[in-house]
């Protein structure tokens, strides 16, 4: 049942018989350039199947159960090679890092950048929960960006703090304990001492009772002038930076029944290189001391 071919009356070319609103499709042959590209692609594909791993096989012969390809190339091998190169490069840095002292690292821009990058990554993983992602801290968790340090801001002090912790379970932990004065001092003395502490930073008027109580009970740790003592982790009370709060009520509560910050020790959890990188990173945050 062959139909008579439909010939377009304007061009004289046979149509495919497809028609849309009176517009008909001419049955022209595909252009020659297109045919050449098509055939070349077919030949290319056959070559590709032979050279590269391409076909899944039932026997699971090659990598991930397919043909191996005549070149033996796989993406997995390439990835392995690249990873091995990265590990080797990192290992070379680590050995140099391990052998260098803190001051040598600080003087070597390459090693210093390596340490800060490693420290930043370890900080996000281990420290940011308490100290904030940028080290800005929050009430009860000290800010590590400023130049106000409880236990010292030079690299070696930071290194010790991170290694051993503060009031931690480590034998060499940094430790000190502000006594609770709630039972030792009367309410009037506590108020007067709080006002005396506030007089370091505000225009609160100190009383003799406040001065006397402070000098007898507090100066041993916080110093006569309130500047604190880093060997005891006793905060500076004469600056505008407060660890637990600067309200009269906060200060009185700290005198009655002090809070004791606990910082875990990291020696048990992180390797020595990571702890050194962390010390350099924290020191780099801006408030590091010489």
Residues in region 193-222 near ligand HEC by CB under 6 A: 193, 197, 217-218, 220-222
Cα 116 from Cα 123, distance rounded (Å): 10
Q: Which stretch binds ligand HEC (CB under 6 A): 38-46, 56-64, 76-84, 231-239?
A: 231-239
Q: Least CB distance from residue 50 to ligand HEC, whole Å?
A: 54
Is 174:161 a contact under the CB 8 Å cutoff?
yes
Angle at 156 between CA 236 and CA 225, to 5 degrees: 15
Q: How far apart are CA 227 and CA 201, in angstroms?
A: 11
If binding is defined by CB under 6 A, does position 150 make contact with ligand HEC?
yes
Report how far apart, in Å, the C-alpha atoms of 234 and of each of 50, 115, 117, 149, 177 are: 74, 30, 31, 10, 9
Residue nearest to ligand HEC (CB): 261
Interior angle at CA 210, CA 204 and CA 214, nearest 5: 115
Residues 262-281, one symbol each (x = binds ligand HEC by CB under 6 A, - = not), give xxx-x-----------x---
Asked if residue 159 binds ligand HEC (CB under 6 A), the reply is: no
Contact 277, 120 (CB under 8 A): no
- Shortest spacing between CB 188 and ligand HEC, in angstroms: 13
Cα distance between residue 134 and residue 144, in whole Å: 8
Cβ neighbours of residue 29 closer than 8 Å, sequence gap 6 or more: none
For ligand HEC, which is the closer residue by CB, 52 or 197?
A: 197
Give the torsion sign (CA, 61, 65, 69, 75).
negative
Is residue 285 at the binding interface for ligand HEC, with CB under 6 A as the rule? no
Closest separation between CB of residue 208 and ligand HEC, Å? 16
126 in contact with ligand HEC (CB under 6 A): yes
Residue 141 binds to ligand HEC (criterion: CB under 6 A): yes
C-alpha 136/C-alpha 117 separation (Å) is 18
Nearer to ligand HEC, 63 or 239 (CB): 239
Among 105, 115, 144, 280, binds ligand HEC (CB under 6 A): 144
Q: Looking at 50-58, 87-95, 106-114, 232-240, which segment touches ligand HEC (CB under 6 A)?
A: 232-240
Our CB check for ligand HEC shows the closer of 66 and 132 to be 132
Choose the binding region for ligand HEC from 32-40, 41-49, 89-97, 236-244 (rule: CB under 6 A).
236-244
Instruction: Copy the structure tokens of residue 290.
Output: 């010489």
* 284 and 106 Cβ atoms separated by less than 8 Å: no
Q: Count the neighbouring beta carbons within 10 Å of the beta carbon of residue 154.
A: 15
The size of the interface with ligand HEC (CB under 6 A), counted in residues, is 49
Provide the binding-site residues for ligand HEC, judged by CB under 6 A: 123, 126-127, 129-131, 141-142, 144, 149-151, 158, 161-162, 166, 176, 178-179, 181, 193, 197, 217-218, 220-222, 232-235, 237, 242-245, 251, 254-255, 258-264, 266, 278, 282
């Amino acid at each position: 049942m062959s139909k008579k071919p439909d010939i377009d009356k304007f061009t004289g070319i046979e149509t495919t018989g497809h028609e849309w609103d009176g517009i008909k499709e001419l049955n022209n042959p595909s252009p020659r350039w297109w045919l050449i590209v098509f055939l070349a692609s077919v030949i290319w594909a056959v070559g590709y199947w032979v050279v590269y791993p391409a076909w899944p096989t039932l026997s699971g012969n090659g990598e991930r159960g397919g043909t191996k390809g005549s070149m033996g190339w796989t993406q997995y091998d390439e990835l392995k090679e690249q990873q091995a190169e990265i590990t080797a490069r990192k290992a070379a840095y680590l050995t140099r890092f391990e052998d260098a002292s803190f001051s040598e690292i600080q003087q070597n821009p390459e090693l210093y950048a390596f340490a800060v990058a490693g420290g930043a990554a370890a900080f996000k993983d281990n420290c940011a929960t308490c100290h904030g992602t940028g080290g800005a801290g929050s009430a009860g968790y000290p800010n590590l960006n400023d130049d106000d340090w409880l236990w010292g801001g030079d690299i070696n002090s930071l290194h010790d703090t991170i290694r051993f912790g503060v009031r931690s379970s480590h034998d060499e932990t940094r430790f000190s304990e502000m006594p609770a004065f709630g039972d030792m001092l009367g309410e009037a003395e506590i108020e007067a001492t709080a006002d005396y502490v506030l007089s370091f930073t505000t225009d609160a008027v100190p009383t003799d009772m406040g001065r006397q109580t402070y000098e007898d009970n507090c100066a041993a740790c916080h110093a006569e002038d309130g500047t604190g003592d880093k060997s005891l982790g006793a905060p500076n009370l004469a600056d505008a930076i407060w660890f637990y709060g600067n309200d009269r009520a906060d200060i009185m509560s700290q005198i009655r029944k002090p809070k004791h910050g606990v910082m875990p020790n990291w020696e048990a959890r992180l390797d020595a290189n990571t702890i050194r990188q962390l010390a350099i990173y924290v020191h780099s945050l801006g408030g590091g001391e010489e």
